[in-house]
């Protein structure tokens, strides 16, 4: 017997300026109710007009960081999705602004897995799982010991290890 996804019937807002990415998100999350927006203006109307279980934001093309601020201020569990803004700076800004995780678009087939874990953890951040899962990916993108170059990441990673032990 197949276990029902904890994402079943969750209301999700997906924001991306690329229609094919929105279609892929909808396919990955076919058990959810999906609202889609391709621009900042539509997304902000949705954010202010509905209560979402999950918000998925692109960074570039839709002013994702401004949308992240609004989404987090409304108390919506929010994740960032990006293809072009995969940099330590974008990752750091996502963390500081309250995103629960950051998924490279090329890892979109893993979106459901990460969101299910987030829902099962009652909307808590799953940065530890992200860094454990994509550690080698980030090393390849950012270079070896990339976290060591920024005090923020060293402290953030240390806090994740402490939280995991509690």
- In this model, does residue 165 exceed pLDDT 70? no
pLDDT in tens, 73-122: 999 999 999 887 788 899 999 999 999 999 999 999 999 999 998 888 87
Of residues 166 and 96, the one with the higher pLDDT is 96
Q: Are 137 and 104 in contact (CB under 8 A)?
A: yes
CB atoms within 10 A of CB 35: 18
pLDDT in tens, 13-37: 999 999 999 999 999 999 999 999 9
Q: How confident is the model at residue 164 (pLDDT cuts 50, 70, 90)?
A: very low
Dihedral sign, Cα of residue 45, residue 50, residue 55, residue 56: negative
Q: How confident is the model at residue 3 (pLDDT cuts 50, 70, 90)?
A: confident
Residues ≥6 apart with Cβ < 8 Å to 125: 100, 101
Query: pTM of the entire structure?
Result: 0.91
Q: Residue 162's pLDDT is what? A: 54
pLDDT in tens, 118-151: 888 876 778 888 888 888 888 898 888 888 888 8
* Domains located in the chain, CATH noted: 11-124 (3.40.50.2300)
């Amino acid at each position: 017997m197949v276990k029902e996804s904890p994402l079943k019937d969750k209301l999700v807002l997906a924001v991306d300026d690329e229609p094919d990415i929105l279609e892929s998100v909808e396919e990955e999350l076919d058990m959810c109710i999906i609202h889609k927006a391709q621009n900042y203006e539509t997304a902000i109307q949705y954010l202010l007009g509905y209560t979402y279980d999950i918000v998925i934001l692109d960074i570039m093309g839709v002013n994702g960081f401004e949308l992240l601020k609004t989404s987090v201020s409304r108390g919506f569990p929010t994740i960032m999705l990006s293809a072009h803004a995969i940099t330590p700076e974008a990752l750091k800004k996502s963390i500081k602004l309250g995103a629960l995780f950051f998924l490279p678009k090329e890892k979109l087939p893993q979106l459901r897995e990460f969101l299910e874990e987030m829902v099962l953890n009652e909307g808590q951040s799953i940065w530890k799982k992200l860094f454990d899962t994509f550690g080698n990916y980030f090393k390849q993108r950012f270079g070896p010991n990339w976290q060591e170059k920024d005090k923020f990441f060293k402290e953030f990673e240390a806090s994740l290890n402490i939280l995991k032990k509690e």
